[in-house]
Structure 1
Amino acid sequence: MRILICEDNVLLREGLQRLLIEADHEVVAALPDTRGLGEAVRDQRPDLVILDVRLPPTFTDEGIRAALALRKHWQQLPILVLSQYVEERYATDLIAQSAGALGYLLKDRVADVDEFLDSIDEVGSGGTVLDPEVVSQLLGRRQRDSRLDELTPREREVLELMAEGRSNGAIAKHMFISEGSVEKHISQVFQKLGLQHGASGNRRVLAVLAFLGVEMPEDADDAGGGSA
């Protein structure tokens, strides 16, 4: 996979490069800030962009704003955002305005190499990965969605694991059930949430947004029907 890194911390940036290269990925660019980011994406055509949330010069929301800007030009570009802490407003903005593959992880997750590389693969292949701590905090502040009352406890558990970005196989392993059973649960979740084939956006992402109480903007780009 061709990966572009935008991270101001030189030790973390170089550590990510080494880790990714050892995992047989190609790092096409490693930038210390967002200057030239758009040009690098245009010229290098990466398969995935890894961005820090806080970047120079203000160390506030440069990474999030850069991610949203990339989405406007490359709607399906997989983006993985790294953050030192859970920043709910930034996470919510990015999730709500992103139709393509997305990851939002705390930097502590990088220390678990296997888990981090799994997240890279998941986002790079078009999936969504949210740090469990991000999910937990967003759930604590979510608005009540009455459609969720229709879900069985098993379906809610599947949806929560989906919100963490787990694949059907990973959900099956965690719940000690078959992948076929997971697919049936997900189909029921889609049906009860009113997410039919042809709905605007990826149904898996829309289901997660409903679970987290994040409102999808009316002008969200159509990312295709999405399957279970």
Structure 2
Amino acid sequence: MRIVIAEDSVLLRAGLTRILIDAGEDIVATVGDAEELITVVARHQPDLAVVDVRMPPTNTDDGIRAALQIRERWPQVAILVLSQYVEERYATDLLARDTSSVGYLLKDRIADVSEFLGAVRRVGEGGTALDPEVVAQLLARSRRRDPLERLSPRETEVLALMAEGRTNPAIARQLVVSDKAVEKHVGNIFLKLDLPPATDDHRRVLAVLRWLEG
């Protein structure tokens, strides 16, 4: 495969390059920041880009944002993301549209060379390679959202209006139902979202936060 490596650590970049060359892969470019990554991908159109999440220029999420841009502009380029730890939002963004030709590994996993090479080849061939810890955290995140699925369609409508800051009487007018019906829906929402008895205002805030998280 023709591979581009984007990693700001000089030692790790050199190590990845040596591992992949020894395995018979063709390293067409290595870069140390996200802007260079976009440039070399545009120039070389590689089969695979190995990308660190946190890179210059800001050393925050530049690498993963570049990877998402590559997925958008050059969907034929496979992406293998490397990260120091699991960043759920970025993993979700990366997998949101298509799980083919994509991988997300923790850097600790690179220590097992055969496992790393297996992931590189699997992603390059159109498959998926997800670190077990990534899978575990994404599943945990999914379970945290389960309470929202307990809500009925009407309760979901009520919660959405609560999120807009509307009072119970305002919700009743919007849905053309009685105040008592809204109170019942709100009570059911608190129950289904596992919100313990407290002041109504406090529970409303917590319910809205659950809605926004979901």
The two structures have a TM-score, normalised by structure 2, of 0.65
Please say if residues 34 and 57 of structure 2, whose CA atoms lie closer than 8 Å, have aligned partners that are also in contact.
no
Kindly state the Cα deviation for residue 99 of structure 1 after the two structures are TM-superposed: 5.4
- Corresponding residue for residue 51 of structure 1: 51
Indicate the residue corresponding to 1:33 in structure 2.
33
The answer on whether the counterparts of 1:100 and 1:126 sit within 8 Å (CA) in structure 2 is yes
Matches within 5 A, 1:63-142: 63-98=63-98, 100-142=100-142
Query: How far apart, CA to CA, are the structure 2 residues paired with 1:64 and 1:97?
Result: 15
Tell me which protein shows more helix as a share of its residues: 2
Deviation at 1:90?
A: 1.1
Offset of residue 80 of structure 1: 0.1
Amino acid at match of 1:132: P
Distance 1:116 1:99 in 2: 18
Instruction: Find the aligned partners of 2:93 and 2:22 in 1 and give their Cα distance.
Output: 33
Note the residue ranges of structure 2 that are not aligned, 5 or more in a row: 148-213
Q: Secondary structure at the match of 1:14?
A: helix
Q: Between the two proteins, what is the percent identity of the paired residues?
A: 59
CA deviation string 1:130-180 (max 9, x = no partner): 1000100111110449xxxxxxxxxxxxxxxxxxxxxxxxxxxxxxxxxxx
Corresponding residue for residue 24 of structure 1? 24
Instruction: Name the TM-score, length of structure 1 as normaliser.
Output: 0.61
Partner in structure 2 of residue 42 of structure 1: 42
For 2:5, what is the secondary structure of its paired residue?
Answer: strand
CA RMSD after TM alignment? 1.7
CA contact (8 A) 1:82 1:106 kept: yes
Deviations 1:77-125 (A, max 9, x none): 1000000001111111111144541000000010000000000010000
Pairing of 1:165-184 with structure 2 (within 5 A): none
- Tell me how far 1:72 sits from its aligned partner: 1.5
CA distance in structure 2 between the partners assigned to 1:113 and 1:36 by the alignment: 26
- The alpha-carbon distance between structure 1 residues 127 and 86, as it changes in their structure 2 partners (threshold 3 A), is same
Residues 184-195 of structure 1: pairs in structure 2 closer than 5 A? none
Using CA pairs under 8 Å that are at least 6 residues apart, name the structure with larger relative contact order, 1 or 2: 1
Which residue number corresponds to residue 173 of structure 1? none
